């Protein structure tokens, strides 16, 4: 025997669902206004001449320019370099934080987070003070006799990379640290009791279980660094020109909205491509996890 559902109760349930869905409306509205509309507008701009007529000339001009492709390469070098250094520096750091006693971990975490509470421009100029020819780092290096000449640490690719890593590292660290802290310490103990060395524990238990966090961190780092502007502009000294500085130049120097829009679309496509590649990589990682136990 099935009881008939009281329509009044059914309506209540529906009303409740609708209420909770409606809570997302303000956010949806803002996303629509601040993200989707501008993108549509950029796409439209990319097909218009400065006079306002339809053209594909902007694409032809931008895509045939060697500067665009070198900017694309610079963008990729900067973001992948930043990501690589973040993974190499951040993963062990996250592991150290996650295995430290809570009080120590909180203190270390405060230090790691400190840069995030400082304005990016201040930090970037801070690096300038540290890294330039007569800066603190070079003074220490030459003063101690480690190097005869000051090293070219800023106004180049190295300086830009240092500034970007400094900005991205805490952001990368957060999801990785969260994933590692969530690992049941008994899993580590269990692995050790069965004979696993520390290296084996890290490889077969900790890394597979924090892969999700490393993945999230990597996505955030890539998406941020593909569009990075201030750091290359200040620390690159005009020699490091990723797509973002090209866009800025197209606008401020040439008032060329068409080219700037094409470059912007190029950035979007790049992000989408990297997103798809990362998703594929994650699927592979998940498949490997079981096999890794036997490796």
Phi and psi based region of residue 294 (left: phi greater than 0; alpha: psi -120 to 50; beta: remaining): alpha
Looking at residue 114, what DSSP letter applies?
Answer: G
Cβ distance to other proteins smaller for residue 18 or 294: 294
The least distance separating other proteins from the CB of residue 243, rounded to whole angstroms, comes to: 38
The least distance separating other proteins from the CB of residue 276, rounded to whole angstroms, comes to: 24
Cβ distance to other proteins smaller for residue 72 or 201: 201
Single residue of 13, 139, 280, 293 touching other proteins by CB under 8 A: 293
Structure tokens at 14: 């529906």
Residue 178 touching other proteins (CB under 8 A): no
Looking at residue 54, what DSSP letter applies?
Answer: B
Cβ distance to other proteins smaller for residue 16 or 288: 288
What crossing angle do the helices spanning 243-252 and 66-99 adopt, rounded to 10°? 130
Alpha helix positions (H), 100-206: 102-113, 120-131, 136-143, 157-181, 185-193, 198-201
Cβ distance to other proteins smaller for residue 116 or 289: 289
- The b-or-e profile of 221-232 (16+ CB within 10 A means b, else e) is bbebbbbbebbb
Single residue of 184, 239, 272, 276 touching other proteins by CB under 8 A: 184
Cβ distance to other proteins smaller for residue 205 or 221: 205
Residue 209 touching other proteins (CB under 8 A): yes
The least distance separating other proteins from the CB of residue 193, rounded to whole angstroms, comes to: 4
The least distance separating other proteins from the CB of residue 194, rounded to whole angstroms, comes to: 4
Q: Roughly how many angstroms between the first and final C-alpha of the chain, as a whole number?
A: 56
Contact 240, 156 (CB under 8 A): yes
**C-alpha distances out from residue 29 to 20, 37, 286, Å:** 16, 11, 36
Cβ distance to other proteins smaller for residue 158 or 204: 204
Using the contact rule CB under 8 A, the part of the chain among 58-66, 127-135, 203-211, 275-283 near other proteins is 203-211
Structure tokens at 206: 């900790």
Residue 192 touching other proteins (CB under 8 A): yes
Single residue of 71, 168, 205, 214 touching other proteins by CB under 8 A: 205
The least distance separating other proteins from the CB of residue 289, rounded to whole angstroms, comes to: 4
Contact 160, 78 (CB under 8 A): yes
Site of interaction with other proteins (CB under 8 A): 184, 186-187, 189-197, 200, 204-205, 208-209, 289-290, 293-295
């Amino acid at each position: 025997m099935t009881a008939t559902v009281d329509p009044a109760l059914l309506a209540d349930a529906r009303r409740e669902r609708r209420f909770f869905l409606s809570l997302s409306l303000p956010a949806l509205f803002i996303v629509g206004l601040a993200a989707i509309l501008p993108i549509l507008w950029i796409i439209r701009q990319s097909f218009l001449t400065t006079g306002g007529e339809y053209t594909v000339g902007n694409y032809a001009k931008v895509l045939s320019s060697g500067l665009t492709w070198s900017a694309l390469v610079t963008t990729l070098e900067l973001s992948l370099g930043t990501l690589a250094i973040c993974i190499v520096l951040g993963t062990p750091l996250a592991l150290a934080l996650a295995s430290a006693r809570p009080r120590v971990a909180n203190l270390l975490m405060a230090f790691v987070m400190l840069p995030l509470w400082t304005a990016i421009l201040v930090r970037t100029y801070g690096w300038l003070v540290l890294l330039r020819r007569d800066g603190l780092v070079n003074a220490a290096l030459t003063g101690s006799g480690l190097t005869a000449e000051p090293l070219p640490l800023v106004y180049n690719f190295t300086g830009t990379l240092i500034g970007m890593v400094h900005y991205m590292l805490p952001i990368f660290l957060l999801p990785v640290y969260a994933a590692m802290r969530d690992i049941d310490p008994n899993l580590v103990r269990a692995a050790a009791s069965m004979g696993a060395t520390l290296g084996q524990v890290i490889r077969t238990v900790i890394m597979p279980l924090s892969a999700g966090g490393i993945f999230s961190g990597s996505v955030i780092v890539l998406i941020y660094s593909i569009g990075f502007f201030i750091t290359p502009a200040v620390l690159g000294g005009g020699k490091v020109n990723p797509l973002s500085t090209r866009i800025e130049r197209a606008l401020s120097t040439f008032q060329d909205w068409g080219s700037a829009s094409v470059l912007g679309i190029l950035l979007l496509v790049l992000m989408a491509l990297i997103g798809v590649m990362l998703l594929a990589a994650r699927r592979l990682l998940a498949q490997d996890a079981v096999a890794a136990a036997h490796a």
